[in-house]
Structure 1
Amino acid sequence: MARSQAASEQCPVVYGHPVDNQTRCVHYHGPTDVVAIKFPCCGRFYPCFFCHEETADHPALRWPVEALDEPAILCGVCYHVLTIRCYLQSKYHCPFCGAAFNPGCAHHAHFYFAFDPHVVLQGGEA
């Protein structure tokens, strides 16, 4: 689905190596690879950790547990920015448009979050 001009004007810029307008990148480009994350070190959205690592001029920082309510996850289908908490509770679907997110991203959470999302969302300590 192509972005409308209005959506393009509202959609944050996605840095790194995106390959389409739904935030897929050279590293992850499957049908459900449609999220980008804002990194706390620079405030920029990247499709993945590797895109940040290869194109940013600084090391990546991870989100602390105190940032669960930070809007930091961009849905590449509808361009809504979800809070970290909303994304982690989404059951791998955008709560705004219903687009499926890749459940395999959970295996890479340690690149993005300085806490274990499963423990925190179940009420445990980070």
Structure 2
Amino acid sequence: MPHHQQVKGINVDAETRCIHYNSPIDRIAIKFFCCQEYFSCFECHEAEGCRKHQVWPIDRFHEKAILCGTCGYELTITEYLNCASTCPSCSSAFNPGCNLHKHLYFE
């Protein structure tokens, strides 16, 4: 599926899982504000990213920055933070544990 080719990371699979997060519900990739590229996770960005990590400022939460690895739907940050851990397009479950890491990505 072509939408997954844009996701960077270590051992990224067809649903954007990586070496760090690879349970059945780990299926989102995040566009990093600093480099505007999708990575599977923060650790993949640390290993292979731009080395200039920045979080998304709250006034840019209307921008699309979350990719569902199942259907390729791009969510805005606001949409993602309000989605109750399921894709609004295909209803696939997202890992609710990602919430614990939102400070790494969003202001």
* TM-score (norm: length of structure 2): 0.94
For structure 1, which runs of at least 5 residues remain unmatched after alignment?
115-126
**One-letter amino acid of the counterpart of residue 14, structure 1:** V
2:89 counterpart (92, 96, 99): 96
Please name the residue that 1:56 is paired with: 49
User: Quick one: distance in 1 between partners of 2:30 and 2:39?
Assistant: 6
The normalised TM-score by structure 1 is: 0.80
SS at match of 1:52: helix
CA contact (8 A) 2:4 2:16 kept: no
Report the equivalent of 1:26.
19
- Percent of paired sites with the same residue: 46
1:78 Cα deviation (Å)? 0.2
Asked if residue 85 in structure 1 is aligned to residue 78 in structure 2, the reply is yes
What is the RMSD of the two structures over their aligned residues, measured on CA atoms? 1.2
**Consecutive unaligned residues in structure 2, runs of 5 or more:** none
Structure number with the bigger relative contact order (C-alpha 8 A, sep ≥ 6) is 2
Structure possessing the higher radius of gyration over alpha carbons: 1
